[in-house]
Structure 1
């Protein structure tokens, strides 16, 4: 080969490598990762020992929709499902008579019903909404105060006194600005700046206040039977908190879980159900104390991000933190299990990305 050609090829390769190195080292990314120290992953042991009790779910068709992230039985006895398109579907408990109850134009991640029968929705792109029985949508609040927007409304629960408690998963990454709820959640959890918070909305005064803050992706929320204690998932740190609904004082109920806790739903007989949307990823834990490497990771194509594989896993616990049931499907056939709706005769399994509603007879 001609020496001049060799030189040109070598120079071209060198420039390409230099450009690639420059991109990986210097290209701006939206997150500014901070160092934190996770505990060693416990694995699937003890009450979470591997099983296949969640495998072989039966299916309820939801047409062309997908992502039944949150499910609930309404005051009318119908099954309601929030899906990725921003619609809330309504159907008979067996899946028949399916219709669109409302469409917010955003993405509802959690909802509850108040004493008047309104559906109170935490919409990740719109804020806290109230949807009347006729489908009319009203924005209750989209900010805590002027200059402090609610960027990522996630879980919601209505207390007996009418107070609406809900989570703002991240004050850093709004799904409307960063490509959707999944993309924004990945950015927030990789950054670990812990800006998630629990908010309380007073319907009488129309005011919103911060009850608790400093959470790494504040997610699902549930209320104790006496209405005095909130249970809140801190997804990015693999734990579940108990938070006093008045003072905001908190204590850890579950720490160092084997996966990322997502939604919380009250079940029957004192149970509270939680879904582990993804299992722990050793790569992510190893990068916890390496902010620069996490920043470099965000410069890679999304297909190379260290997103854990699907693994179906939900479990139930009581208010004291005792695990009462544990259901798994290691195959992940029903992906990203977020929680369980426990009805009289069925368990409906919620999912972030599934194309149907999975259910099984209630044990």
Structure 2
């Protein structure tokens, strides 16, 4: 019995040493997570996102960003690094371009080029001849590690997010894995960058974001709307801001939507002045409870991945106006179509983007 007891003690001590001392890639900091609002008020539980029509993508998966081109074709960036092109009903699918990385957001410029935020390669331009060119992969001599979302202004300037300067998908197992590490750490290294094609200069507009994600422009193009995934909010930032740290406080950067019920992801302008926002997942009480406990957040990475506090599958997208009024809320509490990163609104359809599925969902407007 004594040997058994000593063996168990040794096992417990070894496990304690592992959980306490095994190196992990994050250096978490404490932060104050607001009490989750739950699904109430304008976000009351509903089934308006249930029963989507599905477009099969064959062997492709993760149509995280979708755009209707001026040629009437639907373009979708998928996990393989390809950009697919198809008819609006999903027929006629073809590979438009392959970047060798992972395009997470894209938009078309006035010349018809597809401007892509590639999480591995940086900011790219894909010409009408389908040739891929790197526009920028550095700012002030520092690498752009996690290009995420992009929008092109009428004057040609390009605004895009660099979600994390700590965790590059190319180095940490992919976009999802790098995002998890960044949000667990909460060092708020995300930033929004501007690239000017006329001068080929790249500058920092704003920094200090906890996984800076979706980006959209106001109608007058004087303001950027920015989704801050790690802190459940959406910012309004003046395009004229320069190297602004949101933690310092400034009238050039204000919170428009705060304490959201999920992790905000892509932002896309829709019809009639609406801006659509997707939630890649709902809030987790377990995750929020660890906000002020950096050591415990480190400990979670020492556990098997199956034990990580991953949010449950839940479909949720909203639309809001430029003054922050929520005008649409669509949910699928069953999680049949989860990880809803955003919405592409056309004249007659809503295409709902997602992170990992082999289908693209849509519903009639």
Q: CA deviation at 1:15?
A: 2.0
Distance 1:136 1:109 in 2: 18
Equivalenced residues, count: 356
Residues 84-112 of structure 1: per-residue CA shift (max 9 Å, x gap)? 11110000111111000011111111000
- 2:163 maps to 169
Q: CA deviation at 1:10?
A: 2.8
Distance 2:8 2:60 in 1: 47
SS in 2 for 1:303: helix
Equivalent in 146, 155, 161 of residue 152 of structure 1? 146
- 2:364 maps to 361
Q: How does 1:25-44 map to 2 (within 5 A)?
A: 25-44=20-39
Equivalent in 96, 103, 106 of residue 111 of structure 1? 106
SS in 2 for 1:43: coil
Distance 1:124 1:87 in 2: 13
Residues 104-142 of structure 1: per-residue CA shift (max 9 Å, x gap)? 111111000000000000000110000011210000011
1:16 aligns to 2:11 (yes or no): yes
Q: CA deviation at 1:19?
A: 1.3
Q: CA deviation at 1:17?
A: 1.6
- 1:3 maps to none
Q: CA deviation at 1:20?
A: 1.0
1:60 aligns to 2:55 (yes or no): yes
Backbone CA RMSD of aligned residues: 0.8
1:305 aligns to 2:308 (yes or no): yes
Distance 2:112 2:161 in 1: 21
- 2:115 maps to 120
1:236 aligns to 2:230 (yes or no): yes
Equivalent in 92, 103, 109 of residue 97 of structure 1? 92
Question: After alignment, is 209-218 or 8-17 more displaced?
Answer: 8-17
SS in 2 for 1:353: coil
- 2:344 maps to 341
Distance 1:242 1:104 in 2: 31
Q: CA deviation at 1:310?
A: 1.0
1:132 aligns to 2:127 (yes or no): yes
Distance 1:139 1:304 in 2: 39
Equivalent in 237, 251, 254 of residue 254 of structure 2? 251
- 1:277 maps to 280
TM-score normalised by length of structure 2: 0.96
Question: After alignment, is 43-52 or 244-253 more displaced?
Answer: 244-253
SS in 2 for 1:193: coil
Q: CA deviation at 1:13?
A: 2.2
SS in 2 for 1:261: strand
- 2:330 maps to 327
SS in 2 for 1:25: helix
Q: CA deviation at 1:75?
A: 1.9
Equivalent in 77, 80, 88 of residue 75 of structure 2? 80
SS in 2 for 1:77: coil
Q: CA deviation at 1:145?
A: 2.6
Ranges in structure 2 where 5+ consecutive residues have no aligned partner = 243-251
Ranges in structure 1 where 5+ consecutive residues have no aligned partner = 1-5
Equivalent in 283, 290, 302 of residue 287 of structure 1? 290
- 1:207 maps to 201
Q: CA deviation at 1:11?
A: 2.7
SS in 1 for 2:273: coil
SS in 2 for 1:236: helix
Distance 2:80 2:312 in 1: 24
- 2:215 maps to 221
Distance 2:339 2:357 in 1: 8
1:194 aligns to 2:197 (yes or no): no
Distance 2:153 2:332 in 1: 33
Distance 1:16 1:205 in 2: 62
